[in-house]
Amino acid sequence: MDSFSSMAISSIRANSEHEYMKRECQPKTWTGGLHRVLCMQGGDDDGSYAKNSEAPASAITLSKPLLLTAIQSMKLFVQSEEDSLRIADLGCATGYNTLATIDMVVEGLRERYIKECGVDPEFEAFFSDLPSNDFNSLFRSLATTLSNNKARRYYAAGVPGSFYSRLFPKGKLHVAVSLSALHWLSQIPEIVLDNRSPAWNKGRAWIDGAKKEVVEAYAKQSEEDLEDFLRCRKEEIVEGGVLFMLMGGRPGSQRPDNQLDDSDSRAKHPFTCSMDQAWEDLLNEGLIDEETRDGFNIPAYMRSTEEVERAIERCGGFEIQRMEYQRIVEHSKEKQDEWIRDPVSYGRAKANLVRATLRPIVEAHVGPYLSEELFKRFENRVSSDISLIHKTCFYGVIVVCAIRK
């Protein structure tokens, strides 16, 4: 092949790659609502939610005694041969956390019924999440769990849909749990997505420390969402049944613009500084424009205990048995020491955490190529800031146990 032909082929390839990159780097918009793209990353690779859900697992472990107490004290229901006890996990995602929780509830109730009523009831377990959830991975895990047990503990079903709307018939659920899911909102407030609005969240991906108009818009959306959730559960849970909620939160005395309760957590939390810097890197490199950067907002809000209590009172139909605010440490001292010795592995771990929680909505916003570029910038930012590894990050959670009146 002569040099002219080689140059021509190289030029064609370069132009093709340029056109591909141009197409891939165009900002994307999704239609049909956030619920079509919001989900935890499926599968079981290093960037999956199944491999990056240690913080929710820690929160569930801390709240386990409260859930067990609720199960031990709840009303027992007269069972006919045609009846079964029905349990739902709302916002189940994938992996071990949801399966372990359902197992715990089923075994706790089974022991009570055998001991107090002399019957071994049948159970139905409903795993519910948005249609975008990776139900295939969840049920593969469930099949493995069931195959390892000689007796079937419960009959399982998937229920796709938003827990901000009705999912079940009236008065059919005996226990409903929602674990580490209710801090995710049903949508980004419309005024936050309007670049002519004072609530346009310029230069930020989240609301911690944002201006008043942005925080107020999120707080209003959060209030509406939680009341919608409670109204639906009031219809679905039988009288005497249990509603158990664990969600990201903050203390009652803390202002909503302060979503995290200390400066170290704010510096280190994956939704804050490093995320904003990663978006800024894409902007400075010419890969995105300002409107694309500013148009991305994380649909999460950490409610205060007062906000949760107020929503329950407004809804009516529930009696709060217990409500607590707890702080969950990000990781163990052993893990921190390991990362101090290898900062690159720390950056990789934090980037995988971000992939697990945000990849689907980032891809919906900028496409798969720029999505991966963002996570690479995030990983570099975290790895290069050695001071971050020495900080201790805490996640605040609110645990609520309520009885349907």
Place of tokens 């991975």: 137
Structure tokens at 182: 């209710």
- pLDDT-based confidence at residue 18 (cuts at 50, 70, 90): very low
Asked if residue 48 has pLDDT above 50, the reply is no
For residue 397, the model assigns a pLDDT of 93
Q: Name which of 343, 322, 326, 355 is nearest 388 in CA terms.
A: 343
* Amino acid in the structure at residue 238: V
pLDDT value at residue 350: 87
Given a cut of 60, whether residue 148 has pLDDT beyond it is no
CA-to-CA separations, 9 to 1, 21, 97, 197, 361, in angstroms, rounded: 11, 18, 53, 49, 37
Angle at the Cα of 85 (from 400 to 229), degrees rounded to 5? 35
Contact 387, 336 (CB under 8 A): no
- Per the structure block, which two tokens stand in for 364? 């919906």
356 pLDDT band (50/70/90 cuts)?
A: confident
Q: What is the pLDDT of residue 141?
A: 79
Task: Round the average pLDDT of the chain to a whole number and report it.
Answer: 84
Residue pLDDT, tens place only, 174-196: 999 999 899 999 999 999 999 99
Contact 350, 270 (CB under 8 A): yes
Q: Which of 134, 145, 136 is nearest to 48 (CA)?
A: 134
Q: What is the pLDDT of residue 17?
A: 43
Q: Above 70 in pLDDT, residue 315? A: yes
Outline where DSSP puts E strands in 217-317.
237-250, 303-304
Residue 243: closest CA among 335, 164, 317, 151? 317
State the DSSP H helix or E strand holding residue 27, giving kind and residue range, or none if neither. none
The more confident residue out of 100 and 157 is 157
Q: What percent of the chain has pLDDT over 70?
A: 82
Indicate whether 114 pLDDT > 70.
yes
pLDDT of residue 50: 45
Residue 374 has pLDDT above 50, yes or no: yes
**In the predicted model, what is the mean pLDDT of residues 105-109?**
95
What percentage of the chain reaches a pLDDT higher than 90? Answer: 55
pLDDT reported for residue 215: 96
- Sign of the alpha-carbon torsion through 198, 164, 234, 245: negative
Mean pLDDT of 308-318: 97
19: pLDDT strictly greater than 50: no
Q: Residue 150 above 60 pLDDT?
A: no
- Under the banding of pLDDT at 50, 70 and 90, the label for residue 333 is confident
What's residue 207's pLDDT?
A: 94
**pLDDT for 229-284, tens place per residue?**
999 999 999 999 999 999 999 998 889 999 987 888 888 888 889 999 999 999 99
Confidence of residue 93 (pLDDT cuts 50, 70, 90): confident
pLDDT of residue 389: 83
Averaged pLDDT, 129-158: 78
Q: Does residue 116 have a pLDDT over 50?
A: yes
Give mean pLDDT, residues 218-225.
97
Mean pLDDT of 332-347: 82
Written out in words, the top-level CATH class of the domain with range 31-404 is: alpha beta
pLDDT of 205 over the 90 cut: yes
